[in-house]
A and B are shown apart, each in its own frame.
Chain A
């Protein structure tokens, strides 16, 4: 059995006075990995900022919610099926038609965060693996895009319990 890595724990050499510290070797990271990282960096915090803003709109009442926040305690202990039946709240992509309401506009930020992976796969990883003719990972990326799109589409539903 071979060892995983021949990394032994050495204490890094102390820089002698007057001499430059040893430079940290550059690790090669694939361009698509860097591009994907940048997508997540900027967009994830933008999404979280969006959530904070829309929540303020909701709580302040500047946008009238579909269900007043003060009435939520009547419903939030119900299971989701009873909640939808009692309130007439939308499911699937129905919330897109409710963006004028303070509670449902928050789903924009949530959907934005949930879409980032699909966007990264479709526009960054897939072209990169196609260019490299890395067919195994092209297949993996395509399969993942299909799985996530199926989940996002809402075509599959579940019955009440």
Chain B
């Protein structure tokens, strides 16, 4: 009987130690929550982000880093690593449909992807070398500017294209896709390709540095500067993210900045959310959702800025 009592007492002590350890971990992490709450909340948050991203017509990547970076306890290094994996997974899943419909065009996407992916590596290294507070400030400013861009940018469905430049002619960038509103195939091409290439250097740098998907920048450059029809710009942008984000994702992976406990719930949550978002899209009011997304981005951008400034 004494042995039994000692055994039970030992087990109780063990349990007390475990719960003490858990409490210590929760306290040390500064959050007060059990460890599993954060990955669970991340899954739910990313599920919601996936739905909103589809309905607002934005990529999930641009929402992920500022929101998770501002409101979750994970260091920005791990948030950016996860953000790239999230954007990559989304682009890989969306790519097939866009490629088969010729809404993502290889002749347009491959040259710009080469430039953006090269400089996203540079951006990734710069981002991982910078102190976190400086990065938070830069991220806050960038996200706020992106929100402003969303407010003021007016994409053009069929932009006017002038005389083809030498690069466009040499690479034979152009194609054809079926436009339902016209009821027939539409031929397209681009211009100002060298200028577009220069901007894709900056896009790659920002994408790699902040772990953002770059759709918010790709589409205006492809559509408004280079003159690709809006559907081609959106489709090709989504596809070329799979290439741009691959290079930066490898840098973060090799630096040890991809944590499964952050990346996997994020990817799974946002992918399921995107599938649900597509189903809900028909009945949704995209303008209201887009306004909400812009407000969220502005809030997250300002919060990131304040966090970087030490407030």
Which A residues are within 8 Å of any B CB, using their own CB?
1-5, 7-13, 22, 24-25, 27-30, 32-34, 36-38, 40-41, 43-45, 47-48, 51-52, 54-55, 58, 69-74, 76-80, 83-84, 89-93, 103-104, 106-107, 109-111, 113-114, 116-118, 125, 136-137, 140-141, 143-144, 147-148, 150-154, 156-159, 161
Q: A77-B29, A79-B75 are in contact. Are A117 and B242 (CB under 8 A)?
A: yes
Distance between Cα atoms of A88 and B303 in the complex (Å): 33
Sampled A-B contacts (26; CB under 8 Å): A2-B162, A3-B160, A4-B188, A4-B227, A4-B229, A13-B183, A37-B95, A37-B96, A37-B100, A40-B95, A51-B267, A51-B268, A54-B264, A69-B35, A69-B261, A77-B29, A77-B30, A80-B255, A83-B75, A84-B256, A117-B242, A136-B171, A148-B117, A151-B250, A156-B121, A156-B251
CB distance from A145 to the nearest CB of B (A): 10
Which B residues are within 8 Å of any A CB, using their own CB?
21-22, 25-26, 28-31, 35-36, 38, 73-75, 77-78, 81, 85, 88-89, 92-93, 95-97, 99-102, 106-107, 110-111, 113-114, 117-118, 121, 125, 128-132, 158-162, 170-171, 176-189, 227, 229, 242-243, 246-251, 253-265, 267-268, 271
Q: In the complex, are the beta carbons of A116 and B92 less than 8 A apart? A: yes
| Closest chain B residue, CB of each to CB of A25 | B185
Among A32, A34, A110, point to the contact of B263 (Cβ < 8 A).
A110
Q: In the complex, are the beta carbons of B246 and A5 less than 8 A apart? A: no
CB distance from A102 to the nearest CB of B (A): 8
CB distance from A14 to the nearest CB of B (A): 11
Q: In the complex, are the beta carbons of A110 and B92 less than 8 A apart? A: no
Distance between Cα atoms of A51 and B93 in the complex (Å): 14
Given contacts A51-B267, A148-B246, 13 further A-B contacts (CB under 8 A): A5-B188, A10-B181, A33-B100, A36-B99, A71-B25, A73-B28, A76-B73, A78-B75, A89-B256, A92-B254, A110-B85, A113-B88, A136-B171
Q: In the complex, are the beta carbons of A147 and B102 less than 8 A apart? A: no
Q: In the complex, are the beta carbons of A73 and B114 less than 8 A apart? A: no
Among B160, B246, B248, B256, point to the contact of A80 (Cβ < 8 A).
B256
CB distance from A30 to the nearest CB of B (A): 7
Q: A30-B106, A73-B26, A113-B92 are in contact. Are A12 and B265 (CB under 8 A)?
A: no
Interface SS of chain B: helix, strand, loop or mixed?
helix
Q: In the complex, are the beta carbons of A7 and B128 less than 8 A apart? A: no
CB distance from B36 to the nearest CB of A (A): 7
Q: In the complex, are the beta carbons of B171 and A5 less than 8 A apart? A: no
Distance between Cα atoms of A45 and B255 in the complex (Å): 26
Q: In the complex, are the beta carbons of A2 and B161 less than 8 A apart? A: yes
Interfacial chain A residues near B78, Cβ < 8 Å: 76, 80
CB distance from A152 to the nearest CB of B (A): 4
Distance between Cα atoms of A113 and B243 in the complex (Å): 11
Among B36, B73, B88, B257, point to the contact of A69 (Cβ < 8 A).
B36
Distance between Cα atoms of A137 and B112 in the complex (Å): 12
Distance between Cα atoms of A69 and B34 in the complex (Å): 11
Q: In the complex, are the beta carbons of B229 and A40 less than 8 A apart? A: no
Interfacial chain B residues near A34, Cβ < 8 Å: 99-100
CB distance from B60 to the nearest CB of A (A): 14
Q: A80-B77, A125-B106 are in contact. Are A10 and B183 (CB under 8 A)?
A: yes
Q: In the complex, are the beta carbons of B99 and A37 less than 8 A apart? A: yes
Distance between Cα atoms of A125 and B21 in the complex (Å): 54
Distance between Cα atoms of A45 and B93 in the complex (Å): 7
| Closest chain B residue, CB of each to CB of A89 | B256
Distance between Cα atoms of A37 and B181 in the complex (Å): 25
